[in-house]
Structure 1
Amino acid sequence: MKQSSAGHAVRQPSLPAATLAALGIVFGDIGTSPLYAFRACFSGSHGAPLHPENLVGAASLIVWSLILVVSIKYLFIILRLDNKGEGGILALSALIRSGVRRFGRKDPKSVLILGLAGAALIYADGMLTPAISVLSAVEGLSVSAPVVERWILPICVGILIALFAIQRHGTGRVGVLFGPVVMLWFGALGALGIGQIIKQPEVITALSPHAGLMFMIHEWHHAFPLLASVFLAVTGGEALYADLGHFGVKPIRAAWFTVVFPGLVLNYLGQAALLIEDPSAIRAPFFLLAPEFLRFPLTILATAAAVIASQALISGAYSLTTQAVQLGVMPRVKVRYTSEHSAGQVYVPSVNNLLAVACILLVLGFKSSNALEAAYGIAIALTMTITSMLFYSAAISVWGWSKWRAATLTTIFLIVDGAFLAANTHKIIDGGWLPLVVGGVIFSLMVTWIWGRARLFQRLSRESLPIDALLSDLKKGQIHRVSGTAVYMSGRGDNVPTALLHNLKHNQVLHERVVLLHVQTLDQPHADPNECLGHNDLGEGVHRVHLSFGFADTPDVPEALKTRLPEEVKFHPGKATYVLGRETYGVGKNASALDRVRLALFAVMARNASPATAYFRLPPGRVVELGAQITL
């Protein structure tokens, strides 16, 4: 049994049930790689010759990449770095920073910067994965039903529109179907592979790393394009870590070693065997593994698997956005919780709309999965490299490893990740620049938001009034009081909130009970229910309250105050008045040209941020907003 955040016991699913669920969410991305990864090794102007030794060697490289990157790096090592159950690059960055502070050392800015860069690149990958997965699957129609080949792009666009249109309903209702469909998919992968391996049993030698090594030596002039193509088979590795919080380590490991890994290996060996027998099958080796009468059903199954793979990345983008907002690295956005039972099921309309437009434009712009492969891979290769770099700090600050021990394993990771990253750099000119530009723009926005918030805090701190001065005026009876309770959002210091000062300036009254509320987001997924609220009675009806939420928690301020504040405060969420400041920003005359650009961008982001009313779940009818012009 497990305790929920409310303190109630929650029955955990059995390992088989959790494993089946993990199949449907975690492995969709890596599970659809056979649609295009092996073909990419021998396609285009940089493809290697279709010799039997090369085919076996390519299969060997893919198999051992799955072993080294996914099985060893992620499944056995990285997944152990959970931030109280949550995974992903932002959670890892937060875990390192809290670990460093625990040892009394200064919080390194490099860890935050690397975490933000990795998060930005995951957004870029989330834009590309649905496009290439759906396009690769629907292209199977050109094999199973050539008459509809000219309708491939419209069908892809229609699927993507439908996929993003249903997001507002949440994945809970259809989530139970994901596991069985993906189980069927991996079963089909293995069965198709076995049928061809029996005909060409020599491909079994691909299980030896020697075959892959000889392939690289003989085809050294194709080394970079080959590694870039091989990397397409492991791009879903980072998703295993990002989805750790949904299922935990055991179900993910069980699903990988019992279902996913065997199915992938058998299928890649089967594709190699097919091409040894018939090199002309390179146009669509995955679909040509199946007998002709099964190709159309296989296309339908592949499309369903591609949609599920896309769903995992889309849901991941929602979760990442929610974490980023909670950690204060992005402005507030409208978030809808689509499940009464799981806080992790969220829907972010703005992110959904941007991803939908991006995916459709990618499909229409690149027109084929072969062309999209040029843009795909480099963003996730860079993200995996960043994860390896962060591992060094995590091993020292979280596990207490010595520097040489952490450096040794990190070096091994970086050799593998660096080779894949270097190989993908040749894609930059052919389309790989796109995800890098998208990631760079998102990274710049996050850094600008952090910088602007810090500058705003400094500006307000200089002009704020100490709380002791307010208490002194209240004791002297110089401020008129009215009945009721008012909640003012407050900063970390001992100063009077700006909204309260403006209220006194314009209305010249104060409620008989005043709550100065500071909300903090912790560097951990969930706050301890017994320690999430701090209360200090300052006298004269003024209370300082500190609320803590984890970055994966829902910041429901009224509910937290209702259940945690002492009874003598007499707090009733539906009767209290919530006073918020709504600032507009101007740029000072002495600001540099760069600062003017950054401040203008920060002002635009602040103006378009979701109002605090929805974010903190405040009752709209009880909110009063006071505007102010602030020059930064």
Structure 2
Amino acid sequence: MQNPDTAATDAAPHPAGQQGLAALTLAAIGVVYGDIGTSPLYTVKEIFAPHTGVPLDAPHLIGAVSTIFWALMLVVTLKYVILILRADNHGEGGGLALTALAARAVGQRPALRNALLLLGVFGATLFYGDSLITPAISVLGAMEGLEVVTPALKPYVVPATVAILIGLFLMQRFGTAVVGRFFGPIIVLWFTVLGAAGAWHIAQQPAILAALNPLHAWEFLSGRGWHVFAAVGAIVLALTGAEALYADMGHFGRKPIQIAWTGLVMPGLALNYLGQGALLMGDPSAIQNPFYRQFPEAWLLPALVLATLAAIIASQAVISGAYSLTKQAIQLGFLPRMRVRYTSAREKGQIYVPGVNWALLVGVLAVVLFFRSSSALASAYGIAVTLTMMITTVLTYFVVREGWRMPAPVAMGATVFFLAIDALLVAGCAIKFLDGGWFPLTLGLLLFVLMSTWRRGRELLMESIRHDGLVLQDFINQLDPRSVNRAERTAVYAVADPDTVPQALLHNLRHNQVLHARNVILTVRFHDVPWVPMERRVDVQALDHGFWRVQVNYGFMNTPDVPKALELTASHGLAVPLFETSYFLSRETVVPTRGSGMAHWREKLFATMSQNAGGVVEFFRLPGNAVVELGTRVPI
């Protein structure tokens, strides 16, 4: 099977056409904003942590809250909600969708195109680091409310966090359809409570409203000197989850996400950050946990329960995102096939990837047990997110300039402005490298090595098959149909290269001395668009002597189903009867050889990945009782 980079037309229906705008907006609140919505649990506390050196007094409280507010306005509202949401790949968003869009925009320059693909893939690998840290820091931050209820419960914070996370990952195999119905209302309640609690404390200390003046943010940043990076590294925590706005656009559409942000999420966040600042102006001792200290003692337990639910929802959104990203990476050719389970018969986006789920669980538990508190974990949080933001800015430039043909001064000016902000955020997180920032970067680099090795290995494998294989058309031209036995059935040969004779066909001829009446040379191609419509699903070419060449086309968001696609060939004159068809697969055993290609250790790594790749049968939904697999050794 093959993963090229040619484009195809998308005709997927827009989400807003299927559901009402209000329902989509409610769903977007529940799924998109869970991550950024839990940031108030720990952000303000970290800005005034001892290592930042920020004094806990009124001028610095106003400056810090002002910086948070204007960071939300510039980075989230202006960059993502207003600008980047316009860069949709036929309705889809996210790192890999943007990468495909940017690569297509510079398609006439192969070197630049490959560089953008690798840059986008590196950004995608950083998301997996976020997928480990977000559940850990969100649930830990919520469970630390136990200490506020009574210090005697402090020893139970980590065990309670571990128990909740294990339960969360165990539930993944059942899908999110049922729980998902409650996400929206719970997160609406969460943001309402955030806003109400903040407004109450603002009324007690209205002087905090001076934070709405951007000059206070500028004075706060410029007055810190080189120490500004420590404060910025904590302020970044308020922005984590911004990428989710773009990544989830395909599920909800641009307008519901924008309405949810401006109508509820941004007001709720702004009021709560202002409220925490007001609380600390009146009671500096509340810095131990300013979020929970916003609530009267009688409200602590309900606030703790609500925060825990919000943290679980935030974690669920990131975990589901990791599944979707894995599926996209597989279909774009950057990861080997994995077992993918569909947990809903109606919602194609609800999937479960067991291998990713258990790997994430082990990683999340390791993170919790190693860092043991949200404050310690905050040091590891942010660098992956800010680097992803910077990569998004770079990729968006090529979409705006090369794809949309915007004037160079406009495209360059906007890019430089946002890159300057991104660079400040990255620098603020980089100083935390030795305190934990190394973790998501190391994980991202390891995954990048795996993904780039897989893609390059597949290219070398294809080159080897083409070099050593027989040309299909020459084989057909020289074939004497009377010299071989013909079985009155249909044989489908799934191949990566449709121009060479399938190894399985040669084995079948050599060992069984039989050729089927109809021989379908099948290639599955995943295009760098999200969806390929049914009318473009198959390309059929009739060859001589009962041979047919069929190409099945999918987008990287489509769900492959080869037997269903082959039903469409009937209108092209090729009938593929379900119960009279055999599928012949060639299972390549990769043989690493020294010489040109990749480094020998990467060839060995690719061979191991290839050997452990998921089966073609399940991935392409082939009928297991009609599949014949034949092995072949391929040197690279």
Q: TM-score, normalised by structure 1?
A: 0.96
Letter in 1 for 2:234: S
Alignment map for 1:154-303 (pairs within 5 Å):
154-303=159-308
Question: For residue 6 of structure 2, what is the aligned residue in structure 1?
Answer: none
For residues 14 and 515 of structure 2, what CA distance do their matches in structure 1 show? 39
SS of corresponding position for 1:511: strand
Residue 46 of structure 1, CA deviation: 2.2
1:387 and 2:405 correspond: no
Over 3 Å counting, the alpha-carbon distance change for 1:47 and 1:305 in structure 2 is farther
- Cα distance in structure 2, aligned partners of 1:80 and 1:436: 29
Contact between 1:559 and 1:573, CA under 8 Å: does it hold in 2?
no
Distance 1:54 1:341, change over 3 A: same
> 1:498 deviation in Å?
2.3
Q: Which residue of 1 aligns with 2:541?
A: 536
Give the deviation of 1:481 after TM superposition: 1.7
Partners of 1:194 and 1:307 in 2: CA distance = 25
Q: 2:603 matched to 1:599? A: yes
Distance 2:52 2:263 in 1: 35
Q: Distance in 2 between matches of 1:598 and 1:544?
A: 34
Task: Tell me the residue number matched to 2:143.
Answer: 138
Q: Higher relative CO (CA 8 A, sep ≥ 6), structure 1 or 2?
A: 2
CA offsets, 1:212-271, max 9 Å, x none? 111123332430011111111011111111111110010000000010000000000010
* 1:598 CA drift (Å): 0.6
Amino acid at match of 1:552: M
Deviation at 1:532, TM superposition (A): 1.7
Structure 1 counterpart of 2:202, which letter?
I
Would you say the 8 A contact 1:336–1:347 is kept in 2? yes
- The alignment of Structure 1 onto Structure 2 pairs a total of residues equal to 627
1:78-477 mapped onto 2 (5 Å cutoff): 78-101=84-107, 108-475=113-480, 477=482
Counterpart residue number, 1:515:
520
Give yes or no for contact 2:583–2:628 (8 Å, CA) kept in 1.
yes
Partner residue in 2 for 1:41: 47
1:133 deviates by 0.4
1:622: which partner in 2? Answer: 626
Residues 162 and 5 of structure 1: CA distance in aligned 2, closer, same or farther (over 3 Å): farther
Q: Structure 1 pair 587/218, CA: closer, same or farther in 2 (3 Å)?
A: closer
Q: Which residue of 2 aligns with 1:613?
A: 617
Aligned letter for 2:273?
A: Y
| Closer/same/farther in 2, CA of residues 98 and 218 from structure 1, 3 Å limit | closer
Q: Which whole-Å CA distance do the structure 2 matches of 1:207 and 1:417 have between them?
A: 22
Q: Give the AA of the match of 1:419.
A: L
Q: CA deviation at 1:25?
A: 0.1
CA distance in 2, matches of 1:183, 1:212: 29
Whole-Å Cα distance in 2 between the matches of residues 94 and 559 of structure 1? 27
Change (3 A) 1:93 1:444: same
Deviating more after overlay: 483-492 vs 368-377: 483-492
Decide whether the 8 Å contact of 1:473 with 1:479 is kept in 2: no
Q: How far has the Cα of 1:589 moved from its partner? A: 4.8
Q: Look up the SS of the partner of 1:331 in the other structure.
A: coil
Counterpart Cα distance in 2 of 1:6 and 1:310: 28
Q: Please tell me the root mean square deviation across aligned C-alpha atoms, in Å.
A: 1.8
CA spacing shift, 1:42–1:163, aligned 2, 3 Å: same
CA contact (8 A) 1:60 1:207 kept: yes
Q: CA deviation at 1:147?
A: 2.7
* Residue ranges of structure 2 left out of the alignment (5+ in a row): 1-9
Q: CA deviation at 1:567?
A: 7.0
SS of the residue 1:491 aligns to:
coil
The worse-fitting range, judged by mean Cα deviation, of 127-136 and 220-229 is 220-229
Shift in Å, 1:90: 0.4
- 2:599 is paired with a residue whose SS is helix
Q: Does 1:545 align with 2:535?
A: no
The Cα offsets for residues 469-509 of structure 1, whole Å up to 9 and x where unpaired, read as 32134335333221211111123452212222222232222
SS at match of 1:285: coil
Change (3 A) 1:5 1:78: closer
Give the whole-Å Cα distance in 2 for the aligned partners of 1:107 and 1:323.
22
> In structure 2, how many angstroms separate the alpha carbons of the residues matched to 1:218 and 1:608?
55
SS in 1 for 2:335: coil
CA-CA distance at 1:9 after TM superposition: 12
- Distance across 1 between alignment mates of 2:282 and 2:487: 88
Contact 2:129 2:441 in 1 (8 A): yes
Q: Does 1:75 pair with 2:101?
A: no
* Local SS of the residue matching 1:518: strand
Distance 2:15 2:79 in 1: 34
- The separation in 1 between residues aligned to 2:14 and 2:273, in whole angstroms, is 46
Cα distance in 1 between the residues matched to 2:368 and 2:496: 46
Name the CA shift for 1:546/1:294 in 2 (closer, same or farther; >3 Å).
Answer: same
- 3-state secondary structure, aligned to 2:543: strand
Q: CA 1:408/1:85 → structure 2, altered by over 3 Å: closer, same or farther?
A: same
Aligned amino acid, residue 380 of structure 1: V
The offset of 1:144, in angstroms, is 1.6
Other structure's SS at 1:577 match: strand
Q: 2:494 aligns with which of 466, 489, 492?
A: 489
Contact 2:103 2:114 in 1 (8 A): no
| Contact 2:32/2:244 (<8 A) preserved | yes
Contact 1:40 1:47 in 2 (8 A): no
Asked if structure 2 preserves the Cα contact closer than 8 Å seen for 1:375 and 1:427, the reply is yes
What amino acid is aligned across from residue 524 of structure 1 in structure 2?
V
